[in-house]
Structure formats: C-alpha cells, structure tokens
Amino acid sequence: MSLRIELEQIVSAWAARNFPDLPPEPWVRPCTDERHGHFQTHLAMVAAKATKQNPRELAERLCKECFPPEGWEKPAVAGAGFVNYRVGPEAVGHALDALRRDPDLGIPKVTKPETIVIDFSSPNIAKAMHVGHIRSTLLGDSLARLLTRTLLGDSLARLLTRLGHRVTRVNHLGDWGTQFGKLLLAYRAAGRPPIESDRAIDQLEEFYKQGHQHAESDPAKMEQARAELAALQVGDPERLQDWRLFCEKSAEHFRRIYERLDVRFDSVRGESAYHEDLPGVVQDLLDKDIAETSQGAVVVRNPEIAEEPYLIRKSDGAFLYATTDLAAIRYRAAELKADRIIYVTDARQQLHFRWLFDTARRSGCQAILEHVWFGTILGPDRKPLKSRDGTPLKLIDLLHEARERARAILQTKRPDLSPVDLETKADLLGIASLKYADQLPNRNLDYVFTWEKLLAFDGNTAPYILNAYVRTRSILRKAGLQKRPDAPVKISQLEEERLARILLRFGDAVELAAADRKPHHLCGYLYELAGQYHRFFEACPVLQLPALRDSRLTLVGLTGEILREGLSLLGIPTLEEM
RNA sequence: GCGCUGUUAGCUCAAUCGGAUAGAGCAUCUGACUUCGGAUCAGAAGGUUAGAGGUUCGAGUCCUCUACGGCGCACCA
C-alpha cells in the first residue's frame, strides 16, 4: 500500500466520522512543493466551508486527532488551513518492504470487476492503415493493458482473476461499406487481376481510387457502383469471392502492422458480421416507437441532442454505420456479456456516439457506454499530418522511418554494435519512441508531430526512460545479479529517499491513468521516476559502499521493475542495453 | 445558424475532477567527463495562463460575455 493511501485511510475515516455529509474525494495528495511536506490535506478548508466553521481551528483539531502512522513526523497547520505531513526515512523503508514483496508493485485491485469490451483501431478493408489509426490503436491498446493490469495484477492475479476486469479487445473492421461498390467496379473493369501479396494494399487502393473517380464524374458509373454493392450484399458468389480476397489481403497487411506494434485482439469482427441483423435492429426500434419513418428513410429523433435526426436506414433501404453499431452493441451485450463498452475513436465522432448511446439506452441496453476520444495529429504547419504527396501518412511508412532514424542515431552512439544487434535495437527504439511520443500528450488535444521530438533522446521521451532502465540493468549485471536482491532498504540520503517516495506512487499513477482513461498520466510519472533515478545515480554510489550496497541494489532493482512494468502498460518493450 | 472542443514561456507540452510561489523539454547562456553507461547531471534566463467580468478563504481549472482556431451538424464511415 502506498504511503498516500495509508494516510488517506486515516484522514478519510476522520472525515467520515466528523463530516459524514461531505462527498468522498481523495483528501490526501502529494505536496506540490516539498518544503511544505510530503503530503497535504485540504480537508479542513472544505469542511469549514460546509459547516461554517473556522478553517484554521478545524485544521488544528485535525492535526491533533489524525495521527499519522508510525515513523511520520507530527503534522503541521499551514496557510489557510492546510495540514501537512512528512514521512520519516524509517517509514519510507517500511513502505518499501511492503512494495518489494508485492508482485503488483503497488497497483491496487478493483473492488468491482467488470467485463469490458474495448473497441479500437478499426481500420478499413482495402485501405492501408495510416496515421489516423495510430492514436486509436495505441490508446486502445494501452487502455486495455491498464484496465487489465489494474485488476489482473501479475502472479497473484491468477488467483484473483475473478476480481479483475475481464477485457475483450475488439477490432471492428470496416469491411462492408459503400466503398466496396466503387472498388468492385474498378476491379472487375480491370478483369479481376490477381492481387499480389507484397503490394496488395497499394493495388486495392489504386482500384478504389479509380472507381471513386469514375463514379464521381459519371452518374452512370455511380449507378453501376451501387449495383455492384447491391449484388455483393445479396450474396452474388463472384462478388463475394472478390470481397473475400480483398479482406484476406487486407488482413495480412493489418497483421504485419499489429505484429510490429505488438498489439493483439481477442475478437476481429467486421461490420459484415452484423449484416443480417440490421433489418431486425431497425424493426425493433420502429416497434418500440423510438424510430420513425421520414422522407422514406428511418430516423431516430431527440431534440435534446440535435435538430437533425439520426439516420438508421436510407430511403433506398440501405443501412448505415449507425445501424451496424447498434447491432454490434446488442452482440457485445448479449454474447460477450459486456458490462461496459469503450469506443476509442477520434473527436469528430462525438456526435455520432451521443446518438448511438442515447438510442441504445432507449432501446434497453444495460451496458455502460463510453466514448474515449482523441484529437488530431498535426504536421508542423498545424494541419492534419500528411505525407509529401498530400495523402494520409501510411503507418507502415511511419514505422519504417522511425526505424531508419533510430538506426542512424544508434550508428553514431554505438558504432561497436553488430549488424544484427543494430537492426534489433533500431527497430525496438523506433517503435518505442513512436508509441511513447503518441501517448505523451493529453489525448483530448490535437498535437504537433515532429520527428525531432519523437526520436530526441533528452526530455520526456522513450529513449530517456529506456536509458534509465538500461542503467538499472547495468548495475545489477555489474553486481553479478540476474534480478534484484530482496534486502531491506535503509534510507540514508535525500536523493534515495526521493526516489523511494516516487516508487511508492506507482500504484496511484496507474490507477489515475486507468480511471481517467488517459495513459499520458503514466508517461508523466515514468518521466519523473527516470529523472529522479538519474539524480540518485549521480548522488549515491551503489556498488562502492558495502554497508549500503544491498539496500541500494534493491532500490535500483525496484526502479527497473517499475519502469519496465510502467512501459509495458503503455505497450512499450524494454531492452537490457542500448 | 446550432453544437462539440481548444487558446498556458520564443517552440512543443504538463499541472492528480477548486488548493499553497503555474512545472518540464527544446532553443539560448554557464558549469560537471581518472563515468557503477555523459543517451547523464547541476545552474541561469524565460509567464498578467487569449481578454473582460463573476462565484470564494483560494481560479489555469467553475459561470457569463468577447476575440481567435479546429471539428461536427440526415441518405459517407
């Protein structure tokens, strides 16, 4: 248990006894300025306001009645009614004893485990994955890891699986939309040529582009494209065969990218899987008087959301992605037993999801529905990031470039590496940097992408944190150890006490990132930890002082484990040396 | 027009659902290499948090208005 939580329990118990009407909130927080103390509570001021008492007097009382645990200093009142607490070195040592025995490294268990479906990534068939998919892919992956880890916990977790969230990662592929009419049109006009695996996606994109151009400029072609789609959707064998080919080739492309990113799914289920459910979904909404017909189409209305209605069936009888999403919710609630469904998409779909959730709830959906949205990745010109020719930047090119740049830097820093080693490390560093840089900014904001920032080695970057990790490994190697010793930690210097206190905050950081669905909180924590480790490293010799050696090696080992675990929650691998 | 969202140091970003003197990195300047890995560390400088009101012990954070930007508003996904 973290120092903060230990104190939190004491203070919140006092709050519950004396001010039962106050809404629960975390009363104990780390001080922003160490000079005030290590932890503070503003409880007295909030309680004073609610009960019209004097805040300083209340703070004095809190001080007297809320004894901190053994080994802490006496609390003190400051400012308008803050109460400050300071931990002593022995208490920090004791807390570390608990931390080093905790296989979960301080990550708390959820009290109410849920079955959670996370819908993320969702690329379209016959199109290369591009830069627009990266945030959803990485954010969704991190959320899945965070939510899983929060509950599952490492080894102890197997015993406690039933106490953890059960996370199902879903890739909802765009494999059934109107783009297939245009694609089929051009593909068949070209005589259905074979699709070659190594450039399959490029070929398919080219056909789509042709079909799109033709259809846009020629109403007759547009009509043909519509006919192609209709033929596919009623199950024409030849079109179906073509469609399957497109899906297969696209799946290979996705698989290669997910493999490189180390992202996996429990369920890959495209829009086509819901095709047969759609008439029933619309009929059900009509039966329940949630939907109505309007100008030949079927719509849902809710003036609280918008004037314009939500379209679930076109006047020509075709269905839309709204309909598919409604069908998917039913499937996930009924078949996957989801208590909660989390959608990870860009900000532009907010209105769609408001409609979707509202409609689903009105039709009786019990699952909690959540839209976790994120901003756009911008180029240096503050416009959405594009490749040189103006098309969306392809993910595969992004990964390639990341590796090239990482290799170039490695070659100057580590000319001694063997070619094989160089390749492996360049690949890992490139991907680690890319993943970290993408998850560092608050997901709600647009952010500006630059290669310089991405692969920089100083500042808040993956290489900086990995460097700290590598140094922890290096010291243990030098000490002749495979893993950390498990010795009591004796705090003797300020820089090691600071390091220890940060280590003890890991659980809080993970919990915050998971609760907020914002992995960037974890990035901030890891950066702080890596920075403090570097300062500790400067100030505190580890191997030279026999009396402190085991204690400090334990601290070093714990730092390494938490860095590794934290990075892995972000989907970022570590390496033993770089 | 309606709605969502944003504006913090020259640049890129933080700030734990209202807490103490708003923090980092880059860029600029100054130091520390007989190193447990210098891909590091120490320090300087840089701010009226877009602007104006309001709420209160306390506002970058909440409310109102204004300015500027991004995005979305049936028959694409």
DSSP A477-543: HHTT-SS---------SHHHHHHHHHHTTHHHHHHHHHHHT-THHHHHHHHHHHHHHHHHHHH--SS
Residue A246, beta-bridge partner list:
none
**A382 C-beta neighbours (distance < 10 Å), count:** 9
User: In Å, what is the separation between the CA of A453 and the C1' of B25?
Assistant: 9
Q: How many helices (H) and strands (E) does chain A have?
A: 21, 14
What are the tens digits of pLDDT across the range A559-577?
Answer: 999 999 999 888 899 999 9
Q: Are A136 and A121 in contact (CB under 8 A)?
A: yes
ipTM over 0.90 threshold? yes
Protein-contacted bases of chain B (C-beta within 7 A):
2-7, 12-17, 19-21, 23-26, 36-42, 56-58, 70-77
Domain count, chain A: 3
User: In Å, what is the separation between the CA of A321 and the C1' of B2?
Assistant: 24
Pick out the nucleotide with least CA–C1' distance to A508: B16
A244 and A309 share a domain? yes
- The CATH number that applies at residue A27 is 3.30.1360.70
A362 and A408 share a domain? no
User: Is residue A447 included in any domain, yes or no?
Assistant: yes
What are the tens digits of pLDDT across the range A18-42?
Answer: 999 888 888 999 998 888 999 999 9
A8 and A72 share a domain? yes
Sorted by sequence, the CB contacts under 8 Å of residue A72 that are 6+ apart come out as: A7, A85, A86, A87, A88, A91
User: Is residue A160 included in any domain, yes or no?
Assistant: no
State the angle between helix axes of A200-217 and A179-189 in degrees (0 to 180), rounded to the nearest 10.
100
Terminal Cα distance for chain A, rounded: 33
The percentage of residues in chain A with a pLDDT greater than 90, rounded to a whole number, is: 58
pLDDT at A302: 94
**A455 C-beta neighbours (distance < 10 Å), count:** 22
Which of A87, A107, A139 is the C-terminal boundary of a domain?
Answer: A87
User: Is residue A102 included in any domain, yes or no?
Assistant: no
A350 and A405 share a domain? no
User: In Å, what is the separation between the CA of A312 and the C1' of B75?
Assistant: 9
User: Is residue A112 included in any domain, yes or no?
Assistant: no
Query: How far is it, in rounded angstroms, from Cα A422 to Cα A408?
Result: 10
Range of the domain at A407: 377-578
Query: How far is it, in rounded angstroms, from Cα A298 to Cα A66?
Result: 62
- The CATH number that applies at residue A552 is 1.10.730.10
Structure tokens at A233: 């959707």
pLDDT at A154: 23
A532 and A422 share a domain? yes
Which of A48, A70, A87 is the C-terminal boundary of a domain?
Answer: A87
User: Is residue A274 included in any domain, yes or no?
Assistant: yes
A431 and A475 share a domain? yes
A387 and A331 share a domain? no
- Res. A141: pLDDT tops 70: no
pLDDT at A331: 97
Q: Residue A136 — very low, low, confident or very high, per pLDDT cuts 50/70/90?
A: low
Query: How far is it, in rounded angstroms, from Cα A100 to Cα A2?
Result: 12
A290 and A418 share a domain? no
- The CATH number that applies at residue A279 is 3.40.50.620
A286 and A273 share a domain? yes
| For range A353-358, the mean pLDDT | 96
Which of A320, A354, A376 is the C-terminal boundary of a domain?
Answer: A376
Spell out the SS3 assignment of A241-265. Answer: HHHHHHHHHHHHHHHHHHHHHCCCC
DSSP A299-363: EE--TTT-SS-EEEE-TTS-B-HHHHHHHHHHHHHHTS--SEEEEEEEGGGHHHHHHHHHHHHHT
Which amino acid appears at position A453 of this protein? K
User: Is residue A130 included in any domain, yes or no?
Assistant: no
User: Is residue A123 included in any domain, yes or no?
Assistant: no
What are the tens digits of pLDDT across the range A243-286?
Answer: 999 999 998 988 888 888 888 888 999 999 999 999 999 999 99
Q: Which region, left, alpha or beta, applies to residue A16 given φ > 0 means left and ψ of -120 to 50 means alpha? A: alpha
Q: Are A314 and A265 in contact (CB under 8 A)?
A: no
Task: Please give the protein residue whose CA is closest to the C1' of the nucleotide B72.
Answer: A348
What phi and psi, each to the nearest 5 degrees, are found at residue A455? -105, 15
User: Is residue A555 included in any domain, yes or no?
Assistant: yes
Sorted by sequence, the CB contacts under 8 Å of residue A421 that are 6+ apart come out as: none
Pairing of strands A291-294, A267-268: unpaired
A310 and A383 share a domain? no
A191 and A246 share a domain? yes
DSSP A8-62: HHHHHHHHHHH-TTSPP---EEE-SSTTT-SEEE-HHHHHHHHHT--HHHHHHHH
What are the tens digits of pLDDT across the range A149-167?
Answer: 432 222 112 212 223 588 8
User: In Å, what is the separation between the CA of A457 and the C1' of B29?
Assistant: 21
A337 and A383 share a domain? no
Query: How far is it, in rounded angstroms, from Cα A513 to Cα A509?
Result: 6
User: In Å, what is the separation between the CA of A562 and the C1' of B76?
Assistant: 46
Pick out the nucleotide with least CA–C1' distance to A49: B57
Query: How far is it, in rounded angstroms, from Cα A429 to Cα A423?
Result: 10
